[in-house]
């Protein structure tokens, strides 16, 4: 293998240290750490498919007469935005699959962010030193919701146009500056012809740029601070135990990107989303029933439906009713969300840094608050489909609405109480949820029975394949690097020391049985014939060993 | 998700899952003795052509009135007395339980009976479509009997879809119908246990009858509001909506972002979380 | 690999049992990659043939999924998993580092603050520049609202027209009919859209001062919901109610479109109607209040 490019870059940028650390970074192994990755990969898919869509979409409200390939709209006067969305759906090769992937990816993106946020919340991963990343993540969620709404609005179809109309009314409802805000945003009275091009610029330039920056910061901070980890054998506040970045984690995470793309592609090709050709052009006096926003706006729409018809007037002014559910509620929501690390600290008085995560059951108060708040937003979310639910279950619409008005107060406390009780219950049972140790019953020669827990080593064998070592080890390269540093030998000056350790390393990595370097850290020794040590399907049979690590001696 | 159900070997009816849609409207076609027969296919926008065998020469008129056979009045009277008179009275003049039917016109009677809404199971709730109790011939006989009692009211419309415009129909449908029946025709719940029913099971004649007579809570659209041509255009578009262009894949019930959200979260994120569970495993 | 001891495990390694499971995984990965390759070729063919959305979605799924599954399986079953351990480095910098930082910062601050007049002038200049450049930027986005939210295109004598611009006669609507109308010359307008109803009941409760607004039983209300501005287009003819599709506000047509259910705070404004000598419907005047949702300046 040719390492020249590494030397070339390092001599100019000095990147070897960072790259080395990155390759040897340890990632804790747990499925819940993959949730944020789903969000990140969805974002990449959104960027890719979005770029494709911009090549065909025309962000203009200018009217044209449609004579495209969708016959039921032939001869209709439509906006260029709508017509170009139809064209890219029907006349551009792979256009529809790209458009639908973009939309599905948006739905999955926000959902993954929310689930990731819940994981971070319930495990206490937002505590010191990670408050900044909690803020960055919360901002990313807000941006994602805004970005989703903007994208949903762009095709200028009947459903999304109704959404823009509501957005105008919400902007209008802001006290003091509302009518100015609305007029400036829409370039005058609703609907005007400016909102589609403006939303387009915000959707493809402003918000994505901000999100890319915030996502970069989110990852860089995570990289710098290192992952949190769950409590477990050998895990402390001061270490990280898990799989190495290179190659295991890189392959798993890289493969996961393709799996995310695969699921979104399957949805994009097989499940129809937002068939705007059936909705028709947005025309202000037309409306369809069953108008809902995309799911991540559902809680706002639900709040608009449930909030009573209170309108405050006095002193010649008015605070419109929609201000409370549509402006105040999101303000409070995101305010509390972003402030949570500090709010919690007021009660816990905890100023310690934490790298070990809480098990949700061990922090019953936080868990119950989280569940209660989640239940509140779930009720609002379901309330945004009162009409569809009433229709599906043959109930009176009025009954469904009143039921939700009651549920929004009743469900959260009950959910919080149940969560509190369950958490208390679970944490008092010390080993709840953990695999039970095998009990060994043995009979002595005298006929006496004894019961004891099985040998922990046997459990290790039961659980792990040959790819796992029994006890956490430092990575061999890192171990010898730090050993060399510790003994005062320079990393580049002292050829001998490095060569020595590297050769012992190479033997370890290639599976040759060697003596442990005396005094040095334990080196994980791979038994011959185990994976990664050569041989296999596409190489000659037999225990022939290939070198996976170049011996520096050999190069000279 | 759409289940396509084949009825009478000729017509595919999509039924939205989770929506209280019945296939009653098609029942009349599944019975061989019907006076009116249907030929042609209802599938794509361009091949939409329905012709009634039993009508007098329609020419290019978008809507013609079905001529009822006066020899069936006696049969119709028998059926009416057996099935309807307990509420509507022996001479269809109405009672305290049910309204007068005299002078409403054949179209009204035909709509309520042919969609199975009448006879009513429970007079206190909104009549819902269900399989009709009568054959097409029997229904027409009842229509003939009731409309023989007095003149007036709209007659049974027979729609000539060949003379109708799909794209004009789209414009009229989105202006006049989509508000309640939704832009995809799937229907939805209105206030106080009133429902705008799904349009998927409706026949051309039933759609035109509903527009003209305004059954239940539906407003009436007279000739001053929508011309015969416009009604035919709307009917053509509704027939298209029953088998729309699902270029994007499975239609997800055509109820918009509600099902899309659930699919995105449960199937999209759900399957990815399972994949993540496989990849990440559990802490040891 | 059940019920094994370390000794047994060693034995398995020697006789090649572990190897077998490993090469089984290799086969799975190979099949996965091969499937992806075939799907990619298929995708190329579909695309070359003009494309088909469902085929593209399914082939993309297999092309991407085959890659993803194969790479993950490789990284999970054919590469050592550790666990490895790494020490965390202290995030906090040493005290001495911070002390030097603060000293350096203070050195600069004192060097600048020495010229306090310049500091103040610079601050004022930057602020002025910010305000002067930002203000026109915001201002040029749109006009001031002024009377925009108070007026519609309805005036005294405006004829009622349909969305296609044709005038409406009093005889056009059947009893129980409904029609969306606009002032003549503004057909299709978002703000002036009005719903014209001819209820089939006669027990209309007219509000004081509106006795002459509904000739021949016609009623006309603004179609813009007073809640969030959606078109209130759902007319329930038997119950004489208008329903808003967005948030289900319900207005009672017979009593001046008062909200009777849902979140709408105010009745729909009513348009006073009259019928001219030729039987056309006209507006007696425009709306006497702002239509649509509320805003700050509205009393």
Report pLDDT digits (tens) over B214-251: 998 899 998 888 999 999 999 999 999 999 999 999 99
Condensed to tens digits (0 to 9), the pLDDT of residues A511-530 reads 434 444 444 444 444 444 44
Q: How far from each other are the two terminal CA atoms of chain B, in whole angstroms?
A: 41
Give the tens place of pLDDT for each residue, C174-199.
888 899 999 999 998 899 999 999 98
Contact between chains at A256 and B187 (C-beta distance less than 8 A): no
Interatomic CA distance for residues C141 and A184, integer angstroms: 5
Please tell me the distance in Å from A146's CA to the nearest CA on chain C.
19
Q: How confident is the model at residue B56 (pLDDT cuts 50, 70, 90)?
A: very low
**pLDDT of amino acid A370:** 96
Give the pair of three-digit tokens for residue A532. Answer: 């990664």
Q: How many residues does chain C have?
A: 299
Q: Which one of A264, A309, A521 would you mutate to disrupt binding with C, by most C Cβ within 10 Å of its Cβ?
A: A309
Does B20 have pLDDT greater than 70?
Answer: no
Cα distance between residue A496 and residue A502, in whole Å: 10
As to burial, measured by CB atoms within 10 angstroms (0-12 exposed, 13-18 middle, 19+ buried), residue A219 is middle
CB nearest C87 (choices: A239, A309, A468): A239
Query: According to the model, what pLDDT value does residue C30 have?
Result: 96
What count of Cα atoms within 13 Å lies in the side-chain half-sphere of residue A85?
Answer: 28
- Give yes or no for a contact between B24 and B114, defined as CB atoms under 8 angstroms apart: no
CB contact A375 to C (< 8 Å): no
Among residues A112, C234, A353, A418, the alpha carbon closest in space to that of B177 is found at C234
How far does C110 lie from chain A, in Å, by closest CA? 31
Average confidence (pLDDT) over A452-459: 58
Handedness of CA C2, C8, C12, C13 (dihedral sign): positive
Sign of the C-alpha dihedral computed for residues A34, A39, A42 and A47 taken in this order: negative
Say which residues have a Cβ less than 8 Å from residue A89's Cβ, sequence separation at least 6.
A95, A96, A99, A276, A277, B247, B248
pLDDT, averaged across chain B: 78
Q: How far apart are CA B54 and CA B37, in angstroms?
A: 7
For C286, phi then psi, to 5°, come to -80, -175
Across the interface, do B183 and A159 touch by the CB < 8 Å criterion? yes
Q: What is the rounded CA–CA span in Å between residue A506 and residue B242?
A: 70
CB contact under 8 A, A288 and C54: no
- The continuous run of DSSP H or E covering A243 comes out as strand A239-244
Quick check: A244 pLDDT over 80?
A: yes
Residues in chain B: 284
Q: How far apart are CA A329 and CA A376, in angstroms?
A: 12
**Contact between chains at B225 and C179 (C-beta distance less than 8 A):** yes
pLDDT exceeds 90 at position C226: yes
The pLDDT score that the predictor gives to residue A237 is 92
Give the single-character DSSP code of A237.
T
SS3 per-residue string spanning A259-286: HHHHHHHHHHHHECCCCHHHHCECCCCC
Find out whether B5 and B15 touch, Cβ atoms under 8 Å: yes
**Angle in degrees, CA B52, B58, B60, rounded to 5:** 115
Q: How many other C-beta atoms can be found within 10 angstroms of the C-beta atom of residue B109?
A: 28
CB pair distance less than 8 Å for A179 and C296: yes
* Residue of C54, C165, C177 best to disrupt the B interface, most CBs of B under 10 A: C177
- How far is the alpha carbon of C127 from chain A, nearest alpha carbon, in Å? 22
Q: Are A199 and A187 in contact (CB under 8 A)?
A: no
Chain B residues whose CB is inside 8 A of the A285 CB are 175
**Which contacts (CB < 8 Å, 24+ apart) does range A394-400 have?**
A394/B20, A395/B189, A395/B193, A396/B189, A396/B192, A396/B193, A397/B189, A397/B190, A397/B191, A397/B192, A397/B193, A397/C248, A398/B191, A398/B192, A398/B193, A398/C261, A399/B193, A400/B189
**C-alpha closest to that of A120 among A43, A220, A25, A32:** A32
Which of C146, B259, C36 is closest to A391 using CA atoms? B259
Q: What is the pLDDT of residues C8-21, one digit of tens each?
A: 555 555 555 555 57
Q: Which residues of A touch C233 (CB under 8 A)?
A: 285-287
Count the Cβ atoms, other than its own, within 10 Å of residue A403.
17
Determine the 3-state secondary structure of A14 from DSSP: coil
> Phi and psi of C33, rounded to 5°?
-65, -40
Question: Which one of B171, B260, B276 has the shortest CB-CB distance to A76?
Answer: B171
Asked if B33 and B140 touch (Cβ cutoff 8 Å), the reply is no
* Radius of gyration of the CA atoms of chain A, in A: 30
Whether C38 shows a pLDDT value over 50: the answer reads yes
Cα dist. A342→A64, A126, A131 in Å?
54, 10, 8
Q: Do A111 and B268 touch (CB under 8 A)?
A: yes
Whether C53 and B194 lie within 8 Å, measured CB to CB: no
Is residue A462 scored above 60 in pLDDT?
A: no
pLDDT value of residue A541: 41
Q: What is the 3-state secondary structure (H, E, C) of C200-264?
A: CCCCCCCCCCCCCCCHHHCEEEECECCCCCCECCEEECCCCEEECCCCCCEEEHHHCCEEEECCC
Q: Report the C-alpha gap between A208 and A196 in whole angstroms.
A: 17
In chain C, the percentage of residues whose pLDDT exceeds 70 is 93
| Mean pLDDT value of segment A277-301 | 93
DSSP label at residue A296: G
Q: Which residues, numbered 337 to 356 in chain A, qualify as contacts with chain C under a Cβ-Cβ cut-off of 8 Å?
A: 353, 355
CA torsion, points B170, B174, B178, B179, in degrees to nearest 10? -170
Inter-chain touch B191–C238, beta carbons under 8 Å: no
Residues A323-348, mean pLDDT to the nearest whole number: 96
> What's chain A's average pLDDT?
85
Half-sphere exposure (CA, 13 Å, Cβ side) for B276?
A: 23
How many whole angstroms from its chain centre is CA A28?
16
* Count of A-C CB contacts under 8 Å: 366
pTM of the model: 0.85
List chain B residues with CB under 8 Å of C241: 191
% of chain B at pLDDT higher than 70: 78
Q: Do C68 and A259 touch (CB under 8 A)?
A: yes
DSSP 8-state symbol, C158: P
Residues on chain A touching C1 (C-beta within 8 angstroms) = 461-462, 465
Could you give the count of Cα atoms lying within 13 Å of A103 in the half-sphere of its Cβ?
Answer: 29
Q: In chain C, whose CA is at the least distance from the CA of A537?
A: C23
A115 chain-B contacts, CB cut-off 8 A? 269, 273
Residues 6+ apart with CB under 8 A from A191: A61, A161, A164, A165, A168, A282, A284, C190
Q: Is the pLDDT of residue A100 over 70?
A: yes
Q: Which residue from A48, A36, A112 is spatially nearest to A265, judged by alpha carbons?
A: A48
Chain C residues in contact with chain B using a Cβ-Cβ cutoff of 8 Å: 53-54, 57, 72, 76, 83, 163, 169, 171-180, 231, 233-239, 241, 243, 245, 248, 250, 261
CB-CB under 8 Å, A289 with C296: no
B neighbour chains, 3+ CB pairs within 8 Å: A, C
Collect all residues from B whose CB is shorter than 8 A from any CB in C.
175, 179-180, 190-192, 194, 196, 214, 216-222, 224-225, 247-249, 278-279, 284
For residue A439, the cross-strand partners are A453
For residue A218, give both structure tokens. 């989110």
Residue C148 touches partner A, C-beta closer than 8 Å? yes
| Rounded mean pLDDT, C67-84 | 91
Q: For A343-391, how does the pLDDT look when each residue is reduced to its tens digit (9 = 90+)? A: 999 999 999 999 999 999 889 999 999 999 999 999 999 999 999 899 8
Q: How many CB pairs under 8 A join B and C?
A: 69
3-state secondary structure string, A375-436? HHHHHHHHHCCHHHHHHHCCCCHHHHHHHHHHHHHHHHHHHHHHHHHHHHHHHHCCCCCCCC
Query: What pLDDT is recorded for position C8?
Result: 59
The alpha-carbon radius of gyration of chain C (Å, integer) is 38
Best of B153, B174, B179, B249 to mutate (most C CBs within 10 Å, chain C): B179
Q: Going by C-beta distance under 8 Å and a sequence separation of 6 or more, which residues neighbour residue C295?
A: A172, A173, A178, A179, A182, A318, A320, C149
Neighbouring C-beta atoms of residue B69, cutoff 10 Å: 15
Question: Which of A112, A286, A291 is closest, CB to CB, to B269?
Answer: A112
Q: For CA atoms C225, C227, C229, C233, give the dihedral sign.
A: negative
Backbone dihedral angles phi then psi of residue C158, each to the nearest 5 degrees: -60, 130
pLDDT above 70 for C6? no
What SS3 state is found at C106?
Answer: helix
Judged against a pLDDT cut of 70, whether residue A540 lies above it is answered with: no
B132 Cα to chain C: minimum distance (Å):
24
In angstroms, what separates the C-alpha of A325 from chain C's closest C-alpha?
Answer: 11
Which positions 97-136 of C are in contact with A (Cβ < 8 Å)?
none
pLDDT digits (tens, 9 = 90+) for C77-91: 898 888 899 999 888
* pLDDT higher than 50, residue B126: yes
Residue A458 has pLDDT above 60, yes or no: no
pLDDT at B127: 81
Q: Does C30 touch chain A (CB under 8 A)?
A: yes
What band does B92 get if pLDDT is binned at 50, 70 and 90? confident
A30: closest CA of chain B, how far (Å): 5
Q: How far apart are CA C99 and CA B145, in angstroms?
A: 103
Out of A41-45, A445-449, B77-81, B249-253, give the one with best mean pLDDT: A41-45
C206's tokens: 């007219």
Instruction: With a cut of 90, say whether residue C97 has pLDDT above it.
Output: yes
pLDDT at A450: 80
Model confidence band, residue A62 (pLDDT cutoffs 50, 70, 90): very high
Give the nearest partner residue to C142 out of A29, A187, A289, using CB atoms: A187
**How near does any CA of chain C get to the CA of B282, in Å?**
13
C84 touching A (Cβ < 8 Å)? yes
Encoded tokens for B243: 């088998």
Q: What is the pLDDT of residue B6?
A: 32
Residue A442: exposure state from Cβ atoms within 10 A (0-12, 13-18, ≥19): exposed
Confidence of residue A2 (pLDDT cuts 50, 70, 90): confident
CB B14 within 8 A of CB B244: no
Chains that touch A (3 or more CB pairs under 8 A): B, C
B190–C234 C-beta distance less than 8 A: yes
Residue A501 scores a pLDDT above 80: no
Flag if A288 and B174 touch (Cβ within 8 Å).
yes
Instruction: Tell me how close the Cα of A488 comes to any Cα of chain B, in angstroms.
Output: 36
ipTM of the complex: 0.90
Q: Tell which A residues from 39 to 98 touch C, by Cβ distance under 8 Å.
A: 93-94, 96-97
**Cα–Cα distance, A350 to A126 (Å, whole number):** 12
Give pairs for B121-129: CB < 8 Å, separation 24+.
Answer: B123/B87, B123/B97, B123/B98, B125/B193, B126/B193, B126/B194, B126/B195, B126/B216, B126/B217, B127/B216, B128/B20, B128/B22, B128/B195, B128/B197, B129/B21, B129/B22, B129/B24, B129/B25, B129/B197, B129/B201
Rounded mean pLDDT of chain C? Answer: 89
Report the residue from A111, A252, A283 with minimal CB separation from B265: A111
Percentage with pLDDT > 90 across chain A = 68
Min Cα separation C31/chain B (Å): 19
Q: Which residues in B lie closer than 8 A to residue C238 (C-beta atoms)?
A: 194, 216-217
């Amino acid at each position: 293998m040719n390492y020249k490019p590494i030397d070339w870059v390092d001599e100019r940028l000095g990147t070897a240290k960072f790259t080395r650390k990155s390759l040897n970074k340890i990632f804790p192994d747990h499925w819940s750490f993959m949730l944020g990755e789903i969000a990140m990969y969805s974002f990449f898919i959104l960027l890719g498919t979005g770029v494709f869509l911009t090549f065909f979409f025309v962000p203009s409200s200018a009217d044209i007469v449609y004579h495209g390939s969708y016959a039921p709209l032939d001869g209709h006067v439509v906006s260029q935005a709508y017509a170009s969305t139809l064209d890219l759906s029907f006349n551009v090769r792979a256009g529809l699959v790209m458009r639908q992937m973009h939309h599905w990816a948006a739905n999955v993106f926000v959902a993954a962010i929310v689930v990731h946020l819940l994981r971070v919340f319930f495990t206490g991963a937002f505590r010191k030193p990670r408050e900044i990343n909690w803020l960055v993540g919360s901002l990313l969620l807000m941006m994602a919701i805004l970005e989703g709404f903007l994208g949903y609005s762009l095709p200028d179809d009947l459903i999304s146009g109704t959404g823009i109309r509501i957005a105008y009314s919400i902007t209008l409802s802001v006290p003091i500056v509302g009518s100015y805000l609305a007029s400036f945003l829409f370039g005058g009275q609703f609907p005007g012809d400016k909102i589609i091009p403006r939303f387009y610029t915000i959707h493809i330039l402003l918000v994505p740029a901000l999100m890319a920056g915030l996502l970069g910061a989110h990852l860089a901070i995570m990289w710098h601070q290192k992952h949190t980890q769950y409590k477990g054998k050998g895990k402390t506040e001061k270490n990280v135990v898990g799989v190495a970045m290179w190659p295991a984690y890189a392959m798993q995470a890289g493969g996961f990107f393709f799996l995310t793309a695969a699921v979104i592609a399957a949805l994009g090709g097989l499940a129809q989303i937002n068939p705007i050709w059936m909705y028709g052009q947005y025309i202000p006096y037309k409306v369809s029933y069953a108008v809902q926003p995309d799911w991540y706006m559902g809680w706002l729409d639900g709040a608009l439906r449930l909030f009573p018809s209170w309108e405050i007037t006095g002193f010649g002014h008015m605070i419109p009713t929609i201000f409370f559910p549509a402006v105040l509620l999101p303000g409070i929501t995101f305010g509390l969300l972003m402030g949570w690390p500090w709010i919690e600290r007021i009660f816990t008085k905890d100023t310690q840094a934490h790298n070990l995560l809480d098990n949700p059951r061990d922090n019953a108060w936080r868990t119950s608050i989280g569940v209660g708040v989640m239940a509140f937003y779930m009720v609002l979310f379901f309330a945004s489909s009162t009409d569809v639910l009433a229709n599906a279950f043959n109930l009176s619409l009025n009954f469904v609405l009143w039921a939700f008005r009651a549920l929004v107060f009743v469900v959260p406390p009950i959910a919080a109480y149940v969560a509190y009780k369950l958490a208390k219950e679970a944490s008092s049972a010390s080993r709840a949820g953990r695999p039970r140790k095998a009990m060994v019953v043995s009979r002595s020669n005298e006929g006496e029975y004894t019961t004891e827990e099985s040998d922990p080593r046997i459990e290790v064998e039961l659980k792990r394949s040959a790819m796992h070592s029994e006890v956490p080890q430092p990575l061999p390269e890192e171990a010898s690097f730090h050993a060399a540093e510790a003994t005062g030998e320079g990393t580049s000056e002292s050829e001998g020391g490095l060569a020595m350790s590297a050769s012992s390393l190479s033997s370890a990595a290639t599976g040759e049985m060697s003596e442990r370097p005396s005094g040095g850290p334990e080196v994980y020794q791979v038994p011959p014939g185990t994976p990664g040590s050569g041989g296999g399907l596409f190489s000659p049979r037999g225990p022939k060993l290939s070198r996976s690590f170049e011996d520096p001696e050999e190069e000279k | 998700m759409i289940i396509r159900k084949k009825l009478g070997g000729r017509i595919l009816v999509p039924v939205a899952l989770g929506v209280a849609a019945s296939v009653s409207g098609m029942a009349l076609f599944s019975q061989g003795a019907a006076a009116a027969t249907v030929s042609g296919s209802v599938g794509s926008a361009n091949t939409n052509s329905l012709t009634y065998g039993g009508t007098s020469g329609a020419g290019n008129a978008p809507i013609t009135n079905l001529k009822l056979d006066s020899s069936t009045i006696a049969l119709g009277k028998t059926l009416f007395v057996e099935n309807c008179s307990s509420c509507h009275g022996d001479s269809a003049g109405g009672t305290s339980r049910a309204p007068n039917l005299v002078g409403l016109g054949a179209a009204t009677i035909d709509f309520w009976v042919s969609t199975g809404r009448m006879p009513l199971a429970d007079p206190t709730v909104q009549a819902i479509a269900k399989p009709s109790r009568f054959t097409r011939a029997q229904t027409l006989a009842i229509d003939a009997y009731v409309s023989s009692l007095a003149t007036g009211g709209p007659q049974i419309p027979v729609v000539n879809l060949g003379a109708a415009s799909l794209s004009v129909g789209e414009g009229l449908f989105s202006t006049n119908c989509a508000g309640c029946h939704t832009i995809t025709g799937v229907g939805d719940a209105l206030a106080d246990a009133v429902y705008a029913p799904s349009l998927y099971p409706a026949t051309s004649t039933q759609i035109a009858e509903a527009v003209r007579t305004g059954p239940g809570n539906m407003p009436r659209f007279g000739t001053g509001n929508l011309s015969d041509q416009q009604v035919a255009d709307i009917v053509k578009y509704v027939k298209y909506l029953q088998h729309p262009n699902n270029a994007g894949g499975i239609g997800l019930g055509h109820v918009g972002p509600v099902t899309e959200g659930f699919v995105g979260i449960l199937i999209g994120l759900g399957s990815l979380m399972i994949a993540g569970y496989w990849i990440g495993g559990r802490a040891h | 690999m059940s019920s094994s001891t370390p000794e047994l495990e060693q034995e398995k390694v020697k006789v090649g049992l572990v190897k077998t499971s490993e090469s089984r995984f290799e086969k799975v990965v190979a099949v996965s990659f091969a499937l992806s390759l075939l799907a990619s070729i298929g995708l190329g063919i579909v695309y070359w043939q003009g494309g088909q959305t469902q085929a593209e979605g399914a082939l993309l799924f297999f092309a991407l999924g085959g890659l993803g599954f194969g790479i993950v399986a490789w990284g999970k079953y054919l590469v050592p998993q550790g666990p490895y351990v790494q020490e965390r480095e202290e995030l906090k910098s040493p005290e001495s580092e911070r002390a030097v930082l603060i000293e350096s910062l203070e050195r600069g601050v004192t060097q600048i603050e020495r010229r306090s007049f310049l500091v103040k002038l610079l601050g004022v200049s930057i602020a002025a520049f910010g305000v002067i450049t930002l203000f026109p930027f915001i201002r040029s986005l749109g006009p001031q609202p002024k009377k925009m939210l108070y007026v519609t295109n309805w005036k005294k004598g405006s004829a009622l027209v349909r969305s296609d611009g044709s005038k409406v006669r009093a005889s056009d609507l059947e009893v129980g009919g409904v029609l969306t109308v606009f002032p003549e010359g503004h057909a299709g307008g978002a703000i002036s859209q009005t719903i014209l109803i001819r209820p089939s009941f006669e027990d209309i409760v007219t509000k004081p001062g509106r006795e002459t607004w509904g000739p021949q039983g016609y009623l006309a209300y603004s179609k813009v919901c007073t809640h969030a501005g959606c078109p209130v287009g759902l007319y329930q003819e038997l119950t004489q109610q208008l329903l808003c599709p967005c948030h289900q506000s319900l207005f009672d047509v017979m009593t001046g479109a008062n909200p009777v259910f849902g979140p709408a705070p105010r009745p729909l404004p009513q348009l006073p109607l009259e019928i001219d000598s030729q039987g056309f419907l006209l507006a007696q005047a425009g709306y006497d209040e702002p239509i649509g949702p509320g805003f700050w300046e509205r009393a």
